[in-house]
């Protein structure tokens, strides 16, 4: 059983996944940020690999990725930073990124290296489902990595059911078809989440995009196993140079 599966076995509700950008706010902040998240109540950490041409990231996460790239962050440097991760980080850690830099690094080499460093799962939103089935899925399985797919309000029931069969770890329920960090009308979102909940999927559900505070976190948790916060946390880091202080304050406000 993977760390992610163990987490959902132990905690079925109010699971908090926080997104942070590797190499932000400084090149060597990665582990410090992760330690602060773990210390203040994050159940799961989604570590973003910065990319120059992100597809789903809103302006806040894009900007943090740009800073991280200027800081010199690369996949190679990130993997070297993660070598010591499991000495202090005990919560599950997922890498979120886009497939192009991973292919440049070498897909199998990437899976082998990140698994050896203690990474638990991958979110690569632009990997086509067919290619995952025919090529990449066997590689992620070989290295014991969970692979998380995204669904949106536009995803058909047939496709959601197929994603449920292919996914391990959890399913990432994108709250709407816009980028991260946008404010959402949660009434519309609730209709969609009700539909997902009624499908009785095998995988746990985490809701992301537009989750930013205690109210939106709790609303999402009414319909899913938990939620993912990204842009709001990056904003908190932008506004306070002290990573530990910023993280403590932010998570206290979400979880109080």
- Catalytic annotation, residues: 46, 57
Pairing of strands 93-96, 121-123: parallel
For residues 162, 46, 221 and 168, what is the CA-based torsion angle, rounded to 10 degrees? 30
Residues 9 and 239: their CA atoms lie apart, in Å, by 36
User: In DSSP terms, which residues pair with 20 in a beta bridge?
Assistant: 47
251 contacts 40 by C-beta, under 8 angstroms: yes
Q: What are the residue ranges of helices labelled H in 94-221?
A: 99-105, 107-116, 129-131, 137-142, 157-166, 186-198, 214-221
Is 24 strand, coil or helix? coil
Distance in angstroms between the alpha carbons of the first and the last residue of the chain: 31
Unique residue bearing structure tokens 């406000």 = 253
């Amino acid at each position: 059983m993977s760390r992610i599966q163990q987490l959902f076995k132990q905690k079925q509700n109010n699971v908090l996944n926080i997104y942070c950008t590797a190499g932000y706010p400084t090149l060597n902040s990665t582990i410090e940020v992760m330690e602060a998240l773990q210390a203040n109540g994050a159940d799961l950490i989604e570590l973003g690999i910065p990319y120059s041409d992100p597809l789903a990231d809103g302006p806040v996460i894009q900007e943090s990725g740009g800073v991280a790239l200027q800081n010199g962050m690369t996949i190679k440097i990130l993997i070297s930073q993660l070598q010591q991760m499991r000495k202090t980080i005990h919560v599950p850690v997922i890498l979120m990124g886009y497939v192009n830099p991973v292919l440049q690094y070498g897909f199998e080499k990437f899976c082998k290296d990140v698994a050896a460093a203690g990474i638990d799962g991958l979110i690569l939103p632009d990997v086509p489902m067919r290619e995952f089935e025919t090529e990449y899925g066997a590689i992620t399985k070989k290295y014991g990595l969970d692979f998380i797919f995204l669904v949106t309000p536009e995803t058909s029931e047939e496709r959601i059911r197929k994603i449920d069969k292919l996914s391990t770890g959890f399913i990432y329920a994108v709250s709407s078809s816009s980028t991260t960090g946008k404010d959402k009308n949660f009434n519309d979102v609730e209709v969609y989440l009700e539909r997902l909940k009624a499908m009785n999927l095998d995988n746990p559900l985490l809701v992301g995009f537009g989750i930013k505070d205690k109210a939106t976190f709790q609303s999402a948790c009414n319909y899913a196993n938990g939620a993912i916060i990204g842009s709001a946390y990056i904003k908190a880091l932008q506004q306070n140079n002290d990573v530990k202080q910023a993280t403590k304050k932010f998570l206290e406000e979400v979880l109080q």
